[in-house]
Amino acid sequence: MVIDYNRSKVIKETDDTDIPYLAANITLFWESQEKSISYKDLDSKPPIKVIYERVITYRFLKYKDDNIVVCDQIKGLKGKVLKGFLRILGKAHVMQYRTLAVKDGPLYVLAGVRKFRWLFGPKTGLTITPDGVTLEGVPEKVKQRLRRKIKIKYEPLKPG
């Protein structure tokens, strides 16, 4: 794992009034002959297969004032629905996810995926309760916070 907290290597410029408290480039990798590893999450609804490529990169942004964490420009993380109509579409690439943790409460997640190179799917909202139960959807007020505009231009990412 490589974590580069040097803000000048992450953010080129921003028009955001709320500048991230923390910004980092993250590279996850492992040495292996395998191109990727995967597991099936049969408890999710719908059941999915999660696929990790050997190298995963993303931008990590942490906003202090509203406690939002953004993982942006994700490369190397995919998923595939195993049951139902959506399984015919094949793998989807996770592009971004945003989280908002509430003290002694749930974790709210908003994830964006892309199919093929041109088809973006709707952002999926999840609520994860303190006891680990995942529920579909996010309250509208929280969804508005998670969907706020982020006006950042990134420096080119150099893995590793």
In a domain, 13, yes or no: yes
pLDDT band at 66 (very low <50, low <70, confident <90, very high): confident
Written as six digits, the tokens of 91 are: 């793998």
pTM: 0.81
Its sign, for the CA torsion 88, 121, 106, 24, is positive
In a domain, 160, yes or no: no
In a domain, 102, yes or no: yes
* Residue 91 CA neighbour count, 13 Å, CB half: 15
| pLDDT confidence of residue 56 | 92
In a domain, 113, yes or no: yes
* Count of domains for the chain: 1
In a domain, 29, yes or no: yes
Q: Tell me: the pLDDT tens digits for 93-147? A: 888 989 998 888 899 988 887 765 555 556 678 888 888 777 778 899 988 888 8
Domain that holds residue 64: 2-154
